[in-house]
Amino acid sequence: MSRIGKKSVELPTGVSASMSGQTIEVKGPKGTLSFKATDDVTITIDGQSVSVTPRGSSKRARQQWGMSRTMVANLATGVSVGFKKELEINGVGYRAQMQGNVLKLALGYSHDVNFEVPEGVTVTAAKPTEIIVEGIDQQLVGQVAANIREWRKPEPYKGKGIKYKGEFIFRKEGKKK
């Protein structure tokens, strides 16, 4: 039994859900998102709550049960509150700034890195050492933050690079003489 799947998803005020086949569409103040569930689960809408139940007791049905419930919960959170990832830049001369729809990163390379921000995500760089990625789609927000971090991952000796806010970087001791 899926402990996550057993819980029903309570929709916040101002959020509505509708079904067409296996596709659930959730509308809220920040926008509209949809998710197409597999045939292994049944999604039902009862007023302001959405519940997911498996069809049968196969291993695949039980796997999809909890995942589908979490996807529906992420849709409801995304259209009501949204998702946010914060990145910190550490290193001498490392900085970021927004120019229109392009994030310019100075990361110690011989050239600036121009990161094109995709549709559906908002990137802000209030300080030169902080980047905030916001949007309604959790997967897209996380992927954009990971793509930005990929340009210069934090290294273990001095901690230089781009890291998530609150991330612990395991530090190593340098060479001994």
147/141 Cα distance (integer angstroms): 10
pLDDT in tens, 125-151: 989 999 999 999 999 999 999 999 999
CATH architecture of structural domain 83-164: Alpha-Beta Complex (3.90)
**May I ask the CATH class of domain 3-80?**
alpha beta
Per-10-residue mean pLDDT for the chain, 177 residues long? 84 91 92 92 91 91 92 93 95 93 93 93 94 95 95 93 93 88
pLDDT at position 175, please?
A: 87
6 backbone dihedrals φ, ψ, rounded to 5°:
-65, -30
83-164 and 3-80 share a CATH fold: yes
pLDDT at position 1, please?
A: 63
Q: Which residue spans within 5-150 are E strands per DSSP?
A: 9-10, 16-20, 23-28, 31-36, 41-46, 49-54, 83-90, 95-99, 102-106, 113-116, 121-124, 130-135
pLDDT in tens, 40-57: 999 999 989 999 999 988
User: Where are the domains positioned within the chain?
Assistant: 3-80, 83-164
pLDDT at position 47, please?
A: 87
Look up residue 175 and give its DSSP letter.
-
pLDDT at position 23, please?
A: 93
